[in-house]
Structure 1
Amino acid sequence: MPTPFASRPGFVAADTGVAAHYGNPLAEQRLLDRGRAVVELGLGVVTVTGPDRLSWLNSITSQLLLGLVPGVSRETLVLDASGRVEHAARVVDDGTATWLLTEPADAAPLAAWLDTMRFMLRVEVADRSADFVTLGRFDGAVGPADAAVEWVDPWSEVAPGGWGYAALEAHPASDWTLRIAVVEPGTAAAIAASDVAAAGLLAYEALRIAAWRPSLSDVDERTIPHELDWLRSAVHLSKGCYRGQETVAKVHNLGHPPRRAVLLHLDGSDAVLPVPGTPVLLGENEVGRLAASAVHHELGPIGLAVVKRSLDPDATLTLHADDVVVTAAQQVIVPPGAGATANVPRLPRLGAVRRS
């Protein structure tokens, strides 16, 4: 479905077809950040209907969704048997249907996986991505009055049943007020034709990274929720069983996540930006990978990276952008000591001799 915002002056398309920017990403970012613009996010939309929908979703995903009150927003993950992230969804129920908003490329795979899990339950799954437009805004911007649903991001604080590894003091999420309206194409076209300011995905991505906000786009084949501090918003630690729950509990209570998220402050003197997937190096040794990068209107070039847990937080790192070596300083998101919250004392090995 072509975006109605393509008629806006300066429109430059992202890979997903929505606007990457309209000619001035930094100016758009400032407007978006101050609640004076909207951004078309191009998210996938999956709906689940039927009387068993919430109890069913509750049983197969990481969040407590049983009895979810209409209009209340949640976030949930689908994990594999080893606790690795496979799908992520923003969740809101309207009393008749549960709406799952996910990354554009994940809507069809998520809907297909849910379909295989229905068994004899009274649920129906539909990929409605072609029927709706997803518009993001921050507090201050006026939202459409006729949205099908609006999802309010819970990232600004630790969700009930969740756990935050990042320090609470000065956490950038305290200023994160994202709302996503799901609207019909006609409504989106009317907004696109109005004088409402619009920002592109480059603006949104920079604000997301600066807020340490995880996304499915940050995930690789090894990612567990702890590494991105995703227990904060998308995992309920005391709900019933679901696939991958054993790993979630074991790492959180007894172990440590093998990797940890950091915000990288990138040297911008050469005006180049490493792309997602770029190896993060300590000397000549690879110690992680870049998950996302952007130029922030206040912080400058930044990136979200996942690095080895044992990496010295004070170490200066390097990344390659084309033929340029870019240096990077770390800002800790998930600390090296994250996990092991049960504080279970280590028992001596059987047969070991205690020295006095």
Structure 2
Amino acid sequence: MTASPFLALPGAVAAEGVDAGVAGHYGNPIVEQRKLERGEAIVDLSDRGIVTVTGPDRLSWLHSMASQALARLQPGTGTEALLLDASGRIEHAAHVIDDGETTWLVVEGDEAASLTAWLDRMRFMLRVEVADRSAELAVLGAMSTTALDAATPAFAPAGVALDWADPWAAPAPGGHQYAHEAGHPASDWHWIERIVPREALADAAAAVAAGRVIAAGSLAAEALRIAAWRPRLATEVDEKTIPHELDWLRTAVDLGKGCYKGQETVAKVLNLGRPPRRLVLLHLDGSDTVLPAPGDEVVGEKVRPEPEPGEAPERRTVGHITSSAMHHELGPVALAVVKRSVPADLPLIVLSHGIEVAAAQVEIVPADAGAAIDVPRLPRLGVRK
């Protein structure tokens, strides 16, 4: 795959890590954040992958395997879906839009080939065709269609614009939210992903060079995503993650549908149990100008037993950083996955680059998140009153 033309724009600095292949910033990621948030900028997401499913059985077939209800997905409506293993752990996540003829799945770039191969193995005798279209199609992101239109026209091969509007701004019908409603930052998240022919990237980069629209890098997009508590497969998910831990039941799972792999775990944890881990936002001490990296340890002091006078309190590892950013208003912030048992008011420390970074947590999945239904306690056999 050829290098993105956005990397040739003045000031472009290539991103590292999960967003390698696109620009991380163009000289001032803080300014880029503000312009992106105001709907004035676009982000090159050409490192993403695109998988298409065609055929008359496509929606009912995807519906049968995914966590989301897709059988009656209307053309032009964006949703998202997870594919789970038998234990309910997340294997794939896709941004989904259908145009009446084709279902388009936007995924992380390194997921496209494996998802295509897996779906192809599941076709059996159904009238569906699966293809990895990443080499010919690309993605641009923005907070407004105005910015996208200034870069390149909407792509509509079947007459429906392939603009995926992120449903994260509000809980989806059939979903469940663990996070408290009051003050949820998702209401300010108006993310749009436009699928375009890959050759349209050159036109979009030319529009930036001509001053018709502004380019923001992946660092700006990530900072706003983190502030919106929005989970991402490439960063927040590991081999043990179930949707509840990231509050992903909110938009990626329809609890009214059944008969998909992993559904039993989804229902059991929601109705009878508790998420074993939970996602938190961390406000970080920025005095050392250290921004933690994904995988950095999060530690906390043990509450019991109490240390002897003069003895340092014992620490334990309680989680790890998944994403971090310098936000234009919040300062240094991070998303982290921590153990369920970590008290909400426990001061935390992030061990990063040989430095201890103090962190205060904001609950996303609350520490007391419990069963969605009350199970009556049955009397023990043999006990009489």
Same fold (TM over 0.5): yes
Structure 2 equivalent of residue 203 of structure 1: 220
Q: Is 1:182–2:195 an aligned residue pair?
A: yes
In 1, the alpha carbon distance for the partners of 2:109 and 2:168 equals 20
Asked if 1:146 corresponds to 2:164, the answer is no
Displaced runs of 4+ in structure 1, greater than 3 A?
A: 348-351
Give the aligned partner of residue 306 of structure 1. 337
Partner of 1:31: 35
**Deviating more after overlay: 180-189 vs 321-330:** 180-189
Post-superposition offset of 1:298: 0.5
Which of 250-259 and 104-113 deviates more? 104-113
C-alpha deviation, 1:142, in angstroms: 4.1
Aligned twin of 2:359: 328
> Deviations for 1:197-216, whole angstroms, at most 9, x for unmatched residues?
10111110010000000110
Name 1:346's counterpart in structure 2: 377
2:180 to 147, 150, 167: 167
Matched AA of 2:11? G
Query: Which residue number corresponds to residue 157 of structure 1?
Result: 170
Q: Given that residues 90 and 243 in structure 2 are in contact (C-alpha distance below 8 angstroms), is that contact kept between their aligned partners in structure 1?
A: yes
CA–CA separation in structure 2 for the residues paired with 1:28 and 1:170: 25
Q: With structure 2 as the length reference, what TM-score do the two structures score?
A: 0.90
Q: 1:219 aligns with which of 224, 237, 257?
A: 237
Distance of 1:49 and 1:104 partners within structure 2: 20
For residues 52-131 of structure 1, what are the structure 2 equivalents within 5 Å? 52-131=57-136
- Paired residue for 2:308? none
Instruction: Give the number of equivalent residue pairs.
Output: 354
Q: CA RMSD in A?
A: 1.3
Tell me by how many angstroms 1:252 deviates: 0.5
Q: Which runs of 5+ in 2 are unaligned?
A: 157-161, 302-314
**Secondary structure of the corresponding residue to residue 129 of structure 1:** coil
Name the aligned partner's letter for residue 242 of structure 1: Y
Q: Percent of aligned positions with the same letter in both sequences?
A: 61
TM-score, normalised to structure 1, is 0.97
Contact map agreement 2:319 2:337 (CA 8 A) in 1? yes
Alignment partner of 1:133 is 2:134: no
Q: SS at 1:145's partner residue?
A: coil
SS at the partner of 1:182? Answer: strand
Alpha-carbon shift at residue 346 of structure 1 (Å):
2.5
Structure 1 SS opposite 2:80: strand
Q: Conserved in 1, the CA contact under 8 Å of 2:154 and 2:163? A: no
SS at match of 1:159: coil
In 2, distance between residues paired with 1:117 and 1:280?
A: 40
Structure 1: stretches of 5+ with no match in the other structure: none
The separation in 1 between residues aligned to 2:254 and 2:13, in whole angstroms, is 39
